[in-house]
Every structure is written in structure tokens, then in C-alpha cells.
Chain A
Amino acid sequence: MTNARLLVVLAASAAALALAGCGERPQVVNYKQGKYQGKPDSPPYAAAPFNGNKQQWENAVDTRAQAQNEYVRLRD
């Protein structure tokens, strides 16, 4: 009787293990539709030399942008 019970338990365990092999697990990253999934980026003024000073960065970029206007340069 004990042997029969043991056999039943073993058979049930083996069946459970065998069935587990049929289970489906996600193989790829689950992407959220329409949302950026990558690493976050810091604003360009966050690091040195501006160290978070947005106004200083904007002034620097604006100065460089104005240098593209040769009419301004020639008038000076």
C-alpha cells in the first residue's frame, strides 16, 4: 500500500515536471507601446562646464548661433 502511494506521488511529480516544460515564458522585453524604453538622458547643461546653469548654456549657444550671421559680424 505504501509502495502504491509512493508510486502515485512519484507519477504525479513526474507529470507536473513534464507539464512545466510546456509552459510559455516571455522571451523578450515587454515594450510599452509608444513610450521611450531606453535610458534617461540628462540635459546638455547638466554636466561641466555649465553644471546645471541653464541660462549660461543658453547664452553660450545663442552666441555661437549669432556667429553664423555674417551680416552681424561685418557690421561690427
Chain B
Amino acid sequence: MARMKFLCDAERCIECNSCVTACKQEHDIPWGVNRRRVVTLNDGVPGERSISVACMHCSDAPCMAVCPVDCFYKNEEGVVLHDKDLCIGCGYCFYACPFGAPQFPQTGAFGVRGKMDKCTFCAGGPEADGSKAEFEKYGRNRLAEGKLPVCAEMCSTKALLGGDGEVIANIYRDRVTHRGKGGEVWGWATAYKVPEAGTSGAVPAPPAPTSTPPSAVTGGTKS
């Protein structure tokens, strides 16, 4: 079964922020909340790199572990979602998340926080699929329409890949083989863990640049 993941190719990201805009537009995200954002490392320095960051839907999500009201769940596609009817806006998940994904709308004076909002991998939430309630609370459910997250699908340089981890790892492996560099994937070790030798069920590692001819690249590692 699919295990949904995001992968951002820092060699390709041009910091256009289209993923951010598309996400806000698709889900009608309120002002002040950014489910996705683009971070530039070493801005202005030759060799700077940009990466698109949102919830990575971690294998062992720390937000799920720290939530005092247990409002998080993971669906069978590995997407980390939450029930906004239970969320108390405490902010523990924000402190636990290594990617700063949880967002909190300012709902009143004195910095009062609203219920947590984060990337849903365009998979909605625990309301009827495609319903008005689901859209208002969690945004559009593209996954139920057989589509992938809008941020990844509309990325002009295809820097941001989204979908089944094995499929996008294969796409990235093909790409790295062609260009012969840039095999490091930011955030994958943190979110999906590096496979340990001799263990089963390990997450397929992003490929390292190799000198293998493109014709020799077939398939990917099994998770």
C-alpha cells in the first residue's frame, strides 16, 4: 500500500513560492496561516539552496506523541491528520515538530490561539469526504478525488514531489542519475528515518549520486 511522502529537491527549487500560493488558494487558508512555506538557506551567498517545507507526515510523528488530547491519527496511507473538534490549541505539537508545520490562527486579542492547522497532504480530515464541513475545517480532499497534493502537482520545476514514497524515490533516483549530483534529500532522515542494516520494513533511502548509466536504473528498493 502507498505510503505518502513529500520530497523536496533543493537543486531544483527556485524559491518561486508557487507551492505556498497554490496551497493557500486550494484550501482557502486564512490570513496568517501557512501550511507550506519556502525556506532559503544561506540566502544571498553563492550556492544558496531553497526548500519547500510543510508537514512531512513523519513515520513516527512527534506531534502525535505529545498531543495531550490525542487528536492526531494516521490513515492507512501514512498521512498524519487531526480532529479539529478535539484540538485545544495548546501548541505542544508546534514545539515537538522538527519542521515547524503546525500553524495556529490568531482568533482574538492577547495572542489567543485557535485550533491547530497544518498540511493534510490534501487528504481532508475526519469529516465526510468532499463535504462542506471537511472543506471548511481541513480544506479540499484531493486524495479522495484520486489526485495528489496540489503543491507538488503544480510545482513548475518539479522540485517538490509528493506521493507514494517508493514512486517518488524512484523518480528522484532517475533524476539524480541523469544529472549526476545532488542526491541529498533534506528532511527525509528526520521524517522517515534512515534504514538500518539488517532491519525489515525500512524506508527506502533517497539515492546517492552514482555514475550508473540511465539505462541501468530499474525499480526501487522495497520498503
Chains A and B are bound partners? yes
Q: Which A residues fall within an 8 A CB radius of B?
A: 31-50, 57-58, 60-62, 64-71
* Chain B residues within 8 Å of chain A by Cβ, number: 43
Asked if A38 and B2 make an inter-chain contact with CB atoms under 8 angstroms apart, the answer reads no
Assuming the contacts A36-B73, A47-B129, A70-B158, asked whether A65 and B164 have C-beta atoms less than 8 A apart, the reply is: yes
Q: How far is the CB of B57 from chain A (nearest CB, A)?
A: 14
Q: Which of B36-44, B166-174, B185-193 contacts A (4 or more CB under 8 A)?
A: B166-174
8 A Cβ contacts from B44-93 to A:
68-73, 75-77, 81-83, 85-86
Knowing that A43-B76, A44-B143, A49-B145 are A-B contacts, what are 7 other residue pairs whose CB atoms are under 8 Å apart, sorted by A's residue number?
A40-B126, A47-B129, A47-B144, A60-B146, A62-B163, A65-B167, A69-B174
Is the pair B70, A32 in contact by a Cβ cutoff of 8 Å? yes
Top 6 A-B residue pairs of the complex, sorted by shortest distance between their CB atoms:
A38-B83, A60-B146, A65-B163, A47-B129, A39-B126, A41-B126
CB-based contact A41/B167 at 8 Å: no
**What are 30 inter-chain pairs, A to B, with CB distance below 8 A?**
A31-B70, A36-B70, A36-B71, A37-B83, A39-B126, A39-B127, A41-B73, A41-B75, A42-B128, A42-B129, A44-B77, A44-B144, A47-B129, A47-B130, A47-B144, A48-B130, A50-B144, A57-B146, A61-B148, A64-B147, A64-B163, A65-B162, A65-B163, A65-B167, A67-B153, A68-B148, A68-B168, A69-B158, A69-B174, A70-B158
Q: Are A62 and B71 in contact (CB under 8 A)?
A: no
B101 within 8 A of A: no
Please, which residue of chain B has its CB at the minimum distance from the CB of A61?
Answer: B146
B23 within 8 A of partner (CB): no
